[in-house]
Structure 1
Amino acid sequence: MKTRTVGEVMTSEVVQAHRAISFVEVARLLDEHRISGLPVVDGDDKVVGVVSQTDLTRYQAAEDARAGGWAPGAPGTPGMAGPPAEELMSTPAVTVHPEQRIADAARVMERRRIGRLPVVDEEDRLIGIATRRDLLRVFLRTDEEIRREVADEALARAVTLTPGSVNVSVRDGLVTLEGRLGHGSDIPSAVRSAWRVDGVVGVVNRLISSAEDGSHPAENPAPQRN
């Protein structure tokens, strides 16, 4: 069983901006590369912020209101380059490390309502970028792919199984475990191992233990959550 990490799906060639580049230059980079945002770095390539289309739009709207309909610094305005990226960017930047689990990075994106995460090394230097699309590709797995990994790899490594003792079924990423394990203490390990498989959104535990250790059926028809 192999848990995917951010480093496996990130883009290493990162379009980035230095703190001093202007509004117009940032807008040009976003348009040229067809992206919605980019990290801002200092002289040591450490991420100090992120500037997005939303940041540019917010600035333009404020300038437009102050100028009564004319926004200095807008692309195409002669002689006006606008403020530097460090005045436009959102800071501090939310970053991740390459060894972090994709599922954890996806939760950060959802919680912070952002579409991209700069990936940094142990010294906070920029080494890549992970977008929502990069992370979602991991979760676009078929139920059969998930079922095979849970049955053939995850459970086999977590507990001792006899042939046919546990049935694994998957529907829309929801894993159901049914059957009998030798010891009651193996049940939590089996459930945890299924949860760690990429693409799993929930686990229904219908496992029971053999009578030899005195355990009673442990059934929980509702999906268990982290």
Structure 2
Amino acid sequence: MRVKSFMTSPALTIGPDQSIADAADLMITNRISGLPVVDHDGRLVGIVSERDLLRRHNGGPPRRPHWLQLMTQKNALAGEPERFHTLTVGNVMTPSPVTVTESTLIEEAGRLLEQRRFKRLPVMRGNAVVGVISRSDLLRALPRAIGKAEEAARHDAPMTDERLVELERQYWMQRTRSLK
């Protein structure tokens, strides 16, 4: 099974010069948690996620998660409206993301998502982003994979039995010949 069969396509994308408020709005409206970032020529330059938007970008690590500070500290919200309109996607994105192609095996995409702890991978055709494969897309692939495995087991069982019977027959024929 290939990525092409399960990816979400076409991919929603965003430009690096757009505000993080625009990115948040696009993600919320489309119920997604990340977007490939493409330049004005359509080339992939990064990926931006909910986590990127919620992370504090002031040079130093916060003592606790930024989103938690926003919810629990009254003065933490003071600069947030301005921050969401002045910071750009390019300021917070992860540059040069790991990608796959449409012909990548679904198993390989799953391995990358698991090992790298990613939630999504851009799917490329040459230099163009044609889709996104996410963990939820892999869940959609699971019933089909299980069905194929069950079908193969049903189909292969009689053949395996036939092979075993034939091997046993040949063994006994050889044994009978050697006794004569």
Q: TM (normalized to structure 1)? A: 0.59
Structure 2 residue 121 is the aligned partner of structure 1 residue 127 = no
- Relative to its length, the structure with more strand (as a share) is 1
- 2:160 corresponds to which residue? 166
User: Alignment partner of 2:164: what SS?
Assistant: strand
- 2:98 corresponds to which residue? 94
Task: Point out where structure 1 has 5 or more consecutive residues left out of the alignment.
Answer: 156-162, 168-177, 184-207, 215-226
Q: Contact 1:59–1:88 at 8 Å: present in 2 too?
A: no
User: Alignment partner of 1:117: what SS?
Assistant: strand
> Higher relative contact order at CA 8 Å, sep ≥6: structure 1 or structure 2?
2
- 2:26 corresponds to which residue? 29
Structure 2 residue 159 is the aligned partner of structure 1 residue 138 = no
- 2:85 corresponds to which residue? 81
Alignment map for 1:106-117 (pairs within 5 Å):
106-117=110-121
C-alpha distance 85-166 of structure 1, shift in aligned 2 (>3 A): same
Q: CA deviation at 1:84?
A: 1.1
- Decide which moves more: 88-97 or 78-87: 78-87
CA distance in 2, matches of 1:39, 1:111: 20
Q: CA deviation at 1:164?
A: 3.5
CA distance in 2, matches of 1:103, 1:33: 27
CA distance in 2, matches of 1:53, 1:32: 13
CA distance in 1, matches of 2:33, 2:77: 24
Q: Contact 1:22–1:81 at 8 Å: present in 2 too?
A: yes
Q: CA deviation at 1:134?
A: 1.1
- 1:180 corresponds to which residue? 164
- 2:177 corresponds to which residue? none
CA distance in 2, matches of 1:97, 1:79: 35
Which residue of 69, 72, 76 maps to 2:76?
Answer: 69
Task: Point out where structure 2 has 5 or more consecutive residues left out of the alignment.
Answer: 70-74, 175-180
User: Alignment partner of 1:118: what SS?
Assistant: strand
- 2:29 is matched by which residue type in structure 1? E
**Identity value in percent:** 29
Q: CA deviation at 1:118?
A: 0.7
User: Alignment partner of 2:86: what SS?
Assistant: coil
Which residue of 141, 148, 151 maps to 2:151?
Answer: 148
CA distance in 1, matches of 2:8, 2:128: 15
CA distance in 2, matches of 1:79, 1:113: 28
> Structure 1, residues 30-67: CA drift from partner, whole Å, max 9, x if none?
111111111101122121111111011113786978xx
Q: TM (normalized to structure 2)? A: 0.73
CA distance in 2, matches of 1:41, 1:55: 16
- Relative to its length, the structure with more helix (as a share) is 2
CA distance in 1, matches of 2:109, 2:166: 36
